[in-house]
Amino acid sequence: MNFQRFVVIGLCGSLWGCVVNPVPTPATSLAMSAYAQADATGEGGGRQNGADDAGVAGVPTDAADNVTPTVHEVPVKETEPAADQIKGPHLAMVVNTAPSTQKLVVVLPASTQQPSDYSLFLQTAARMGHRAIALDFTNESVNVACGAELNCYEAMRLEILDGQDRSSKIKVNFSNSLQNRLAQLLVWLDKKYPSEGWHQFATGSALHWEKFVIVGHYTSAGEAGIIAKVQNVARVIFLGGPNEAYGMQLAAWINATHLTKADSYRAFVHENDDGIAAIKAVCTALGLGNSWTNLDGAAVLKYGSTKLMLTALTLNAPTLGVVIDSVTPMSAEGKPIYTAIWRLLLKQN
């Protein structure tokens, strides 16, 4: 396990994390230049004669780039008194002026991170017309707990999801379950901000999974995968994962039937991720193929149907750098370099 992944944890405690522009290396600077050129020509997910990406939820460039989302930082116990706050408050964002996609983006933070570490990704989603949430939930490193017990992965992840006792390696009750936390947060948001459209994603405790875009980062990519196994969701996005394996022995649930179709999966991973071999094997087993495309500096719009995306920019923490505020590379204008790729991941078919 890479020690560098944990260095930033003690540095990022505020709502907006620690948005730091890394010192560009030659490789990063070259990619920054390429992204900037593509953005200027409309090929990198930015401006094109005054318009944003054609087909990216139809959001104009001004909304995509300049509108500040409405932000709600919500303590867990305000939504569910019987639940514990694990890392930090839930984080929710919306741009009310953007045409709604009627989709809810739910980011499941890595076990080393908290919801506020994903604010830049949430901003991108909200500006596209999605409602967006980063959820605080009980999250453990399932790989470490299960090891070579390949049936253990599903039992742990399902208990995290619904709170039913399935595994001796974790204890999650219903109040602390992921789906209860999510349902109670949506109920709270709708009651507190009824004009923002949160009501469309849940009826009481019943979640409307078909409207959900589930985003799992690092250790939570497997949790996103297990949700897609048992629920039919609009999209599943893996960021820096899922390394759901012991060596190259895949967790048993990977090869089972999944309710979410393979066409609805996307993955974005750094080429230097410690778990890259296992991640690729998992994605292949899930039916996503094995054709990975490096999009560094690319005219991203040309890759609209790409499911498996790579980056090779020089980063201090490759697994975190694909999405975490404090590590993801920034342009000279102070915008995340990966914005165009994030939009591609989130783009509706």
Please tell me the total count of domains within the chain.
1
Is there a domain that residue 147 lies in? yes
Task: Report yes or no: 229 and 252 within 8 Å, Cβ to Cβ.
Answer: no
Work out the pLDDT band at 92, boundaries 50, 70, 90. Answer: very high
Structure tokens at 112: 């080393």
Structure tokens at 301: 């719009």
Q: In 3-state terms, what secondary structure has residue 2?
A: coil
Buried b (16+ CB within 10 A) or exposed e, 311-337: bebbbebbbbbbbbbbbbbbbeeebbb
Boundaries of domain holding 274: 4-8+22-346
| pLDDT over 60 at 121, yes or no | yes
Q: Report pLDDT for 10.
A: 34
Work out the pLDDT band at 64, boundaries 50, 70, 90. Answer: low
Q: Report pLDDT for 305.
A: 83
Q: What whole-number distance in Å separates Cα of residue 144 and Cα of residue 255?
A: 20
Mean pLDDT of 219-247: 97
CATH number at residue 80: 3.40.50
Is there a domain that residue 255 lies in? yes
Helices 152-162 and 178-192 pack at an angle, to 10 degrees, of 30
Q: Report pLDDT for 66.
A: 79
Picking from 205, 319, 226, the residue whose alpha carbon sits closest to that of residue 269 is 319
Q: What are the Cα distances from residue 273, in Å, to 54, 116, 174?
A: 31, 23, 34
Is there a domain that residue 245 lies in? yes
Higher per-residue confidence, 282 vs 66: 282
| pLDDT over 90 at 321, yes or no | yes
pLDDT tens for each residue of 78-89: 999 999 999 999
Is there a domain that residue 17 lies in? no
Mean pLDDT of 325-340: 94
Is there a domain that residue 16 lies in? no
| pLDDT over 90 at 11, yes or no | no
Q: What whole-number distance in Å separates Cα of residue 313 and Cα of residue 306?
A: 19
CA atoms within a 13 Å half-sphere pointing along the CA-CB vector of 332: 9
pLDDT tens for each residue of 15-49: 333 333 333 444 444 444 444 433 433 333 333 32
| pLDDT over 80 at 12, yes or no | no
Q: Report pLDDT for 256.
A: 92
The mean pLDDT of the chain is 85
| pLDDT over 90 at 241, yes or no | yes
Is there a domain that residue 43 lies in? yes
Work out the pLDDT band at 303, boundaries 50, 70, 90. Answer: confident
Question: Can you count the helices (H) and strands (E) in the chain?
Answer: 12, 13
pLDDT tens for each residue of 149-193: 999 999 999 999 999 999 999 999 999 999 999 999 999 999 999
Is there a domain that residue 14 lies in? no
CB neighbour list of residue 270: distance below 8 Å, 6 or more residues apart: 240, 276, 310, 311, 312, 313, 315, 318, 319, 321, 322
Task: Report yes or no: 130 and 346 within 8 Å, Cβ to Cβ.
Answer: yes
Is there a domain that residue 15 lies in? no
Q: What whole-number distance in Å separates Cα of residue 158 and Cα of residue 254?
A: 13
Higher per-residue confidence, 320 vs 37: 320
Q: Report pLDDT for 57.
A: 38
| pLDDT over 50 at 325, yes or no | yes
Q: What whole-number distance in Å separates Cα of residue 240 and Cα of residue 270?
A: 7
